[in-house]
Chains A and B, each alone.
Chain A
Amino acid sequence: MAIELDGKSYETDEEGYLIDLSQWNDQLANEMAKADGAALDENHWEVINFLREYYEEYQIAPAVRVLTKAVGKKLGKDKGTSKYLYELFPYGPAKQACKYAGLPKPTGCV
């Protein structure tokens, strides 16, 4: 599978996760969201940017339980709940947000 955007082709796996992490950019994330019928606002971006930083540091995408805890610590307790994250990313915060962030599907994600 591939996403075509501005004359460039972005290879993805069968679930829509970007193959080459270094190809990622903001427009691509917006395009992926649009395909899911979603629009990204600043709250989405906060989580997406957090995931990219986490991956940069640890070389993995965190499991949802870890993400929830870490978001609560970094962005405030009111945001570190699965309710808040599921409202932003109804397909599952780790799964869906990681996809938009251009990261592989989280280890242990079912």
Chain B
Amino acid sequence: MASKKFLYVNRKAPHGSIYALESLEVVLIGAAFEQEVTLAFIDDGVYQLLKNQDSSAIGSKNFSPTYRALGDYDVNQIYVERESLELRGLTKEDLMPLTWEDEDDDWAEKDSIHVVSSAELAEVIEQQDVLLNF
């Protein structure tokens, strides 16, 4: 099977709908089949990556620790739209650090998150074979 470039676009808050969790599960499945996976977080989707999440008061599983496993699955292209962060009064420091280890560089730990402008994100989208919206 030839590998294709998949982009998962995440636009919704982590809780209140099933989109964020479903997207994460599909991403992990896609990555297990060694597809080339890129993630984008736009609009309320940026809330999915907030650090120190606590969902106990709403009786919903806090699945945010699972994003930190993405590096193990070789998912290390994570784009966050700068405008979406700014509109919500957030910066990269409000997000969980997501990293991956580069096997070809003596397991050096590298940053997976790229904060990019809307225009830069458009270029990333342009390079994909498959686009999935959540």
Contacts and interface: CB of A to CB of B under 8 A. Distances in A.
A59 B32 contact: no
Interface string B49-74: 00000000000011101101100110
Contacts, number: 38
A108 B32 CA distance: 6
Interface of B: 25, 28-29, 31-34, 61-63, 65-66, 68-69, 72-73, 107
- A-B pairs, top 9 by smallest CB distance, nearest first, are A108-B32, A108-B29, A63-B32, A58-B69, A66-B72, A107-B28, A59-B65, A59-B66, A60-B66
A97 B53 CA distance: 30
A53 to B, nearest CB: 13
A107 B65 contact: no
9 contacts: A57-B65, A57-B68, A58-B65, A59-B62, A63-B73, A66-B32, A73-B107, A107-B32, A108-B29
Contacts of B72: 62, 66, 69-70
Nearest to A65: B32
Nearest to A106: B32
A108 B33 contact: yes
B64 to A, nearest CB: 8
Contacts of B63: 59
A65 B61 CA distance: 25
If over half of B's interface residues share one DSSP class (helix, strand or loop), that class is named, otherwise mixed; here it is helix
Contacts of A62: 69, 72
A38 to B, nearest CB: 25
Interface residues of A, number: 13
Given A65-B32, A66-B72, A108-B32, 4 more contacts: A59-B62, A60-B66, A62-B69, A66-B32
B28 A58 contact: no
B73 A66 contact: yes
Contacts of A69: 72
B25 A107 contact: yes
A57 B73 CA distance: 15
A58 B66 contact: yes
Contacts of B73: 63, 66
